[in-house]
Amino acid sequence: MKKILFVASALLIAGAATAQNSDMKMNRNYVEINSSADTLVAPNKFRISITISEAPSKGKTTIADLEKSLATALKASGVDIKKQLVITGQSNTDGKRKDIYQYKNYLLTLTEPTMVETVFDELQANGIANASLTQSTRSDLKELQAQVRVKAMKNAQQTAGELAAAVGQKIGKAIVIEAYSSAPEAVAMRNVLAAKSGNALQADSMPDLNFNDVRVNQNVTVRFVLE
C-alpha cells in the first residue's frame, strides 16, 4: 500500500512539473506592451457650488430673501433654473427657532465657459458670495475615452510588431488585454468667489476666467502571441 501511494505521489509531482514547464514555455511566446494615448479638449461642462445661509446677527437676511436674490442673479445670467440648478442640501429647521439659522446648498451646471463668469458677476451683484467652481469637464467624456483607448491599442500593436520584427518574428492575436483610465484633468486657472458670505471680492479685482483643456488619458497592457 505504501508503495502505491509513493508512486501516485511521484506521478502528481511529475504532472505538476510538466504543467509548470508548459506555462513557462507559453510565457516565452508572447510580447507584452504597455501603451498609452491622450488628447486635449476644451471643457464644455462646468459645475458651480452655491450656498446661501442666514447670518447670525440682528436684522438678518432671511433664507427666503436669499433665494429671491439667487433666482434674480441666475435669471439675469440666462440660466434655466428648473433644468440647471439642483438643491444638494438644506437645513431641517422650519425657521421657528431663533437660535438656528437656515441654509441651502445648490449645484449649478453650465455648458459655456462664458456663462461661468457671467454667473459669478451676477451672484456677486446680488449679494451671493459663497460660491465656487467645483468642476470643469466634458459632457461626452466616455465617448472620448473610448476613442483614445482605441488609439492606445493601435500604438501597442505597432510597437509590438516593431519589436517582433527586430528579432525576425511576427505578432499574432492579442491574448490578454487590460485597459485602465487616468482621472481626467481639467481645472480653472483661477478659483473664483470662494469667499464666505459678507467678504465678497470687488468686481474690478476679478480677472477674466481661463480654463485648462481637459486631458483624456487611456492606458492599455496587451500581450501578443509571437509567431
Q: Which of the four pLDDT bands, split at 50, 70 and 90, describes residue 12?
A: very low
Residue 93 has pLDDT above 70, yes or no: no
Q: Mind listing the pLDDT tens digit for each residue in 43-80?
A: 999 999 999 988 765 567 788 899 999 999 999 999 99
Q: What pLDDT, on the 0 to 100 scale, is given for residue 163?
A: 95
- What pLDDT shows up at residue 58? 55
Distance between CA atoms of residues 49 and 112, nearest Å: 16
* Percentage of the chain modeled with pLDDT above 90: 59
Phi, psi of 85 (to 5 degrees): -120, 130
Strand order in the sheet with 45-53: 85-90, 103-110, 45-53, 131-137
Please tell me the least confidently modeled range out of 94-98, 103-107, 209-213. 94-98
